[in-house]
Amino acid sequence: MSLPLDLQRATTPLFHADGVDAAIDAALNDKRLVGAVVLIAANGETVYRRAAGLADRENGIGMREDTIFRLASVTKPIVTIAAMRLIEQGRLGLDDPITKWLPDFRPTLPDGGEATIRIRHLLNHTSGLSYCFAEEDGSYERAGVSDGIGEPGMSLAENLRRIASVPLLFAPGEGWRYSLAIDVLGGIIEAEMGVSLDEAVAELVTGPLGLRDTAFSVRDRQRLAAAYTDASPEPKLMGKEALVPALTGSVRFAPDRIFDPTSYHSGGAGMAGTADDILTILETIRRGGAPLLSSETVATMMVDQTGGRRQAVEPGSGFGFGWAVVTDPEAAQVPLTKGSLQWGGVYGHSWFVDPSKGLTVVALTNTTLEGMWGRFTVDLRKAVYAAI
């Protein structure tokens, strides 16, 4: 009989883990998180791994290192890497208009004029598209747009039609807004390769890395974490649907969406996977991209590609291809060094890569929104830097 993995935690004498343990324990004891898996790699060596708390509180199932999570926006770097592989192969071009693959996807400019969205605008979120939860006027909501987290049973073609029916927020390249752009990019990848996005990602990313648990479906439902949302006195189990306030709107969740084969593969939010798989992908990028990408391509992905436009929205932080890029740690109020990469997932995840320190940190939890941008993420970052 194996021990609970919370007791199998492995560290190295060079990494002082007490503070990291304390950050995790505090979040669990305060009932801000139900469970978490935290992995830390330093200079290519995994120096910390811990599965803590419960994967399924109602059934008393402990968190394990190989627990599978609904990844939400942790999907984005994976699909972005797939697109960059196609760019390296000459099958996509950064400045190609997306109508080359999606001829009917033609949202207008705010004044009703024609817009030209290019591949690079999707990759760096300067396309003028948005998300329902980030809207101020409710246009996407009225059009019935799916953010790729809810609305099971919707096809990609139908969601693209709905997105395109709403005018862009700004001319492509003239602003920055986190958006459904990677869902649109997923449609382009499918059109170019002639297969589902799941098959494309398996061929381009997860297959070459030997990853078996990360996909647009759940390979082993017994290892899938339950989904919870912030509540008092403890996180609340999500039902068939959950509406969670976020930013200027709300995120509509349907946790069972991933089991519905008629639901489109959301390039921005549709995958499930394990912390080890995500660590492998991020470490591949940190080490320069092989065997997936050239070091030149990775270098392009790791610098701000927005022309400073994201800094106007979030000081100290730009956006490359697939992730945020720290441009000024002091302005961003983070302990990460300049040039670090970071992002998360709305089901309760956060990660960062600090190339100058050789650090990669993955924290997957089953609690929205604490695990993505709550006190836990702040405490964990501080503890990691104190530990080294």
pLDDT in tens, 106-163: 999 999 999 999 999 999 999 999 999 988 889 999 999 999 999 999 999 999 999 9
231-275 tens-digit pLDDT: 999 999 999 999 999 888 899 999 999 999 999 999 999 999 999
Give the separation between CA 61 and CA 340, rounded to whole angstroms. 35
Give the separation between CA 35 and CA 239, rounded to whole angstroms. 18
**pLDDT at 386 > cutoff 80:** yes
Query: Is residue 340 annotated as part of the catalytic site, yes or no?
Result: no
| All domains in the chain, ordered by first residue | 5-71+274-387 (3.40.710.10)
- At 5 the pLDDT is 38
- Say if CB 23 and CB 376 are below 8 A apart: yes
Task: Give the model's confidence band at 13: pLDDT under 50 very low, under 70 low, under 90 confident, else very high.
Answer: low
Please name the helix (run of DSSP H) or strand (run of DSSP E) that holds residue 328, with its range, or none: none
Quickly tell me which residue has 């996407």 as its tokens. 140
CA angle, 282 then 372 then 48, to 5°: 50
* Token couple for 166: 């709403």
Selection from 24, 55, 59, 18 nearest residue 38 by Cα: 24
CB neighbour list of residue 41: distance below 8 Å, 6 or more residues apart: 47, 279, 283, 359, 360, 361
Q: Cis peptide before 107, with omega less than 30 degrees from 0? A: no
Q: What is the pTM of this model?
A: 0.96
Which of 303-325 are b and which e, b meaning 16 or more Cβ less than 10 Å from the residue's Cβ?
A: ebbbeebbbeeeebbbbbbbbbb
* Token couple for 65: 């290192």
Angle of helix 156-164 relative to helix 181-193, nearest 10 degrees, comes to 130
